[in-house]
Amino acid sequence: MSVNHPILDLMNEHRLIEKVLQALDARLASSPPAPFPADFVEQALDFLLHFADGCHHYKEEEALFPALAERGVPVEGGPIGMMLHEHTVGRECLAGIRENLPSARTGNPDAIARLRKFATEYASLLRNHIWKEDNILFKMAGHALDSATLDRLTVTFNHERNPRVNSQLRARYLAFVSSL
């Protein structure tokens, strides 16, 4: 696959998402007795909401999955339906983290416990999800999509007018991952 290949682009984003999940796990595991790392959780949550979900899942839901469905990959009850369902469950976990963050920041032990539970569930779900995409769905995509479709995906992925794939935002999130 060439460097600009859209499937490779998605796989590279998986590596960035995994790095943030690993850092989030490590920081949450070290508290208590360390103070709850509220600022870090806020930054990680921002990345997961806007990069992992907003940008990455946008590319999959708005571009890749419809292109695969056009080529006959089943949606309802098939691999695309399963991926969409997992994106939805992931959003519920992120909402749980966001709801509990203000109280966790004040040191409320129940809120910290709830937030940690949502974060653990999210990390496990997403690692599994990424594995299935990398090893099953994206392999399928490599065979099913012709070069014209792949070019179309590349254009959509780099659409500057869409704020979810805006290059400035992207640079900010890449800098966050590099800082980990």
What's the Cα-to-Cα distance from 100 to each of 63, 93, 107, 111, rounded to whole Å? 33, 11, 11, 5
Closer of 49 and 101 to Fe ion (Cβ): 49
> Applying CB under 5 A, which of residues 28, 60, 150, 173 lies at the interface with Fe ion?
60
Site string for Fe ion, 95-114 (x = CB under 5 A): --------------------
Stretch that binds Fe ion, among 75-83, 114-122, 144-152, 172-180 (CB under 5 A): 75-83
CB 132 within 8 A of CB 61: no
**Residue 53 contacts Fe ion per CB under 5 A:** no
Among candidates 4, 8, 2, 3, which has minimal Cα distance to 141? 8
For residues 115 and 103, give the distance between their C-alpha atoms in angstroms, rounded to a whole number: 10
Least Å distance, CB 65 to Fe ion, is 9
For residues 81 and 77, give the distance between their C-alpha atoms in angstroms, rounded to a whole number: 6
Closer of 60 and 68 to Fe ion (Cβ): 60
Least Å distance, CB 83 to Fe ion, is 5
**Residue 133 contacts Fe ion per CB under 5 A:** yes
Least Å distance, CB 149 to Fe ion, is 18
What's the Cα-to-Cα distance from 172 to each of 44, 47, 81, 121, 179, rounded to whole Å? 12, 9, 31, 26, 11
Q: Kindly list the residues in this chain that would bind Fe ion in the complex (CB under 5 A).
A: 60, 83, 133
